[in-house]
Amino acid sequence: MKARLAAVRRLLREFTGEARWDDYLARCAREGVEPATRREFERHRADQVAHAPMARCC
């Protein structure tokens, strides 16, 4: 049950894009690198989004 809830939470976070932060933290921990702050990380991501057209349909 607990594992299932965690999986749903993970899926929701993937849907909103918040999981990228989780993945980034995990990668930093694996590689022994000091992670950037959340603010810097999100700003970097927002800059990437700004250069891609967002596709939305009728």
Q: Which residues bind another protein (CB under 8 A)?
A: 11-18, 20-21, 27, 30-31, 38-39, 41-43, 46, 48-58
CB of 12 to another protein, least distance (A): 7
Nearer to another protein, 1 or 33 (CB): 33
Nearest approach in angstroms of CB 21 to another protein is 6
Question: Are 20 and 45 spatial neighbours (Cβ–Cβ below 8 Å)?
Answer: yes
User: What CA–CA distances, in Å, run from 6 to 1, 11, 12, 47, 51?
Assistant: 9, 9, 10, 30, 33
